[in-house]
Amino acid sequence: MKARRHGTIFALCVLAALAAPALAQTQKRTPPPVPPPPAANPDDGKADIAYGAFQRGMFLTALAEADKRAQQNDPAAMTLLGELYAQGLGVPRDDAKAADWYKQAAAHGDRDAMFALAMFNLEGRAGPRNPDEAARLLAAAAKLGHAPAAYDLGLLYLQGQQFPQDFARAAELFRQAADAGNPEAQYALATMIMEGRGVPKDVNEATRLMGLASVAGNVDAMVEYAIAEFNGKGIEKDEAAAAKRFLIAARRGSAIAQDRLARILMAGRGVPADATEAVKWHLIAKAGGASDPELDVFAGKQTQQVRDAAEKAANKWLSTAAPRS
């Protein structure tokens, strides 16, 4: 009887930890790389030549065609030239030339160029870092409907950088970007709504946004949405669907998802119990920084054969998996 009672208490502890939220810190984010060029105007055959060549990897053709259009004060062509020089595609990388083309395009009102130039100012490319100028450019691009710029500007308001901290303004900008389909903004807005920061707390809306970001591939959102599915919080309870989502996020390198997946496999909730797989994912999660004393105990109780098989599988996965950025 004692052994059975101990197992029941242990299982309850496992499930309690599995149900706990794991909201990531939206504040910590490396500025994204210079964006790809905007889609070509379908009504402009000449523009299609330059952008079509770029998309097919014909960078010298793209360079020549964009240069022709740039001479006619075409801001999109100027932005494309900036991108070619920024990435060193078809030409040696030249941040000074890239910045010059971005500046010309931005002066003509191109929002993609404004965003790219903001990233240059944040990263210190083609000159000293200038966060204030970056913030100004982000605000200008966001005003013109650039979703990534609105998201990055929202982060500045969230952190209180270059602007006084303003959760309501941050949420407003995240909403703008989220409505345009930006998954990072969807996730950031969801965390604010879940916590009631700057906006009314609404679990159902937060979960909906997490779902959108999850479908778009945001790994942190996948984890949060899987937890919501497992608990039936803001969405219908579905442990099997949660297990599948944890597996996707685990394979993409989320240590939190790896730990939750290990617990699911140990408990047999949503998927059949599998001690070897549970220990494997536990070892992978530990390597990624997600320690779990309960799973340590569970692993220690397995046979040597199970532990050896799990360790072999974990080492194989760790040796081939790309690190999560």
- The domain in which residue 50 lies consists of 36-144
Same-domain check for residues 108 and 182: no
Same-domain check for residues 140 and 158: no
Among 96, 121, 144, the domain-final residue is 144
Residue 289 phi/psi, 5-degree rounding, is: 100, 5
Q: Measured between alpha carbons, how far is 77 from 82 in angstroms, rounded to an integer?
A: 9
- For residue 205, being part of any structural domain is answered with yes
Residues 6+ apart with CB under 8 A from 321: 253
Q: What is the CATH number of the domain that holds 201?
A: 1.25.40.10
Contact 262, 282 (CB under 8 A): yes
Same-domain check for residues 222 and 199: yes
Among 179, 204, 237, the domain-final residue is 237
- For residue 54, being part of any structural domain is answered with yes
Q: Which two tokens stand for residue 216?
A: 């778009």
Among 144, 159, 174, the domain-final residue is 144
Same-domain check for residues 63 and 88: yes
User: What are the DSSP calls for 15-62, one per residue?
Assistant: HHHHHS-----TT--PPPPPPPPPPPPTT-HHHHHHHHHHHTT-HHHH
Please give the chain's pLDDT, 325 residues, in tens: 333 333 332 333 333 344 455 544 343 443 444 444 444 444 444 446 888 888 888 999 999 999 999 999 999 999 999 999 999 999 999 999 999 999 999 999 999 999 999 999 999 998 899 999 999 999 999 999 999 999 999 999 999 988 899 999 999 999 999 999 999 999 999 999 999 999 999 999 999 999 999 999 999 999 999 999 999 999 999 999 999 999 999 999 999 999 999 999 999 999 999 999 999 999 999 999 999 999 999 999 999 999 999 999 999 999 987 665 4
Long-range contacts of 170-175 (CB under 8 A, 24+ apart): 170/198, 171/197, 171/198, 171/199, 173/142, 174/150
Please measure the distance between the N-terminal and C-terminal CA atoms of the chain and give it in whole angstroms.
48
CB atoms within 10 A of CB 296: 12
Q: Which two tokens stand for residue 247?
A: 């597996």
- For residue 20, being part of any structural domain is answered with no
Same-domain check for residues 227 and 153: yes
Same-domain check for residues 52 and 132: yes
Same-domain check for residues 60 and 140: yes
